[in-house]
Structure 1
Amino acid sequence: MPADNYRAFMDLGKEAGFTGSELTKWAKEQVDDLAKQEKEERLEWRNYEAKQRRYEEEQRRYEEEREEWRRQHKLTLKEKELELKKVREESGEAMAIQQASNPTPAAPNAPISSINSLVPKWTEEELEAWLGEIEALFKNYNTTETKRALVLTKHMEGKAKAALCSLEKSQRGYMLEVHRVIIKACEITPEKW
């Protein structure tokens, strides 16, 4: 092929008016330039192919990593779903145990006996919290003033019960009066209340 190129450049040089050593030199330079250009093109092509292979390799690795991430993500989701299911089952069991151990809550306007079973244990040291729980219970079950007073009277002890005994029977049916006596007996200030 280089010999064919040399002859072609010799013919071209003759047409251009080159002769003798000048023609030979020009044809040789043209052949060398062409060879150099072809060599650069081959090098560029190899570089392009190498870059293409690296790109394809990176794409393959990326796809593998993405697939691995998806697989891990699915496993993590499955683990979390199983964990959530386990927690739900455990909480369901706990609720079933709690429902079995606790009496059924009284319905609104329920008899005093069913409300009495839900009243927390009296503690004079934590009177404010106890009264708060009692108020929430009363609101939840829509109890009357008379029922509220009777429930409180049944569950109190100590100073508060002694103070209630000082009330007349007619006054014991009024929740506000019972509260006033309890607060006074246990020395609870309005700010503290």
Structure 2
Amino acid sequence: MAADNYKAFMDLGKGAGLMGSALTKWAKGQLDDMAKQEKEERRERQNYEVEQRRYEEEQRRYEEAREERRRQHELTLKEKKLELEKAQKESAEAMTVQQASNPTPAAPNALLSSINSLVPKWTDEEPEAWLEEIEALLENYNTTETERALVLTKRMEGKAKAALCSLEKSQRGDMLEVRRVIVKAYEITPEKWR
């Protein structure tokens, strides 16, 4: 191929009136320019292909992650719905039994045990999100501060449980104290808490 190109450039140079060493030099210069251009085009094509593969891989990972998040979200929603239905059924059954045996209203412990079944497992990785989710859940049930503190203390593990051990028994029923100790244990600032 290079020989064919060299011959073509020689013929072209002769046609332009070049001869001898000037013709040879011109033809070699044209071949060099052509080789540089081909090399540059090859490098650009390789860079484009590498970038294209990288982009496609990122797109694939993004789509897989998005699909996984969607599946997890749907699964969590289904589980929470089932748990809520189960808790409502148990609460209704407990109230029916309570009303049949005693005309007084259901005890708060029945409510707390049904709420406890809805509370997700404690996670040290996302304590803020867990606390916000639990507080929202407990607000929906119109629980007292003491009841909220009891629910929280039963479900905590890890650093949070260790931090709660530093409280006196009388302080463990105080939601503000429980929250303060958790905030301190995980160094959650008031801005992050909000």
Structure having the higher Rg: 1
- TM-score of the superposed pair, with normalisation by structure 2: 0.50
- TM-score of the superposed pair, with normalisation by structure 1: 0.50
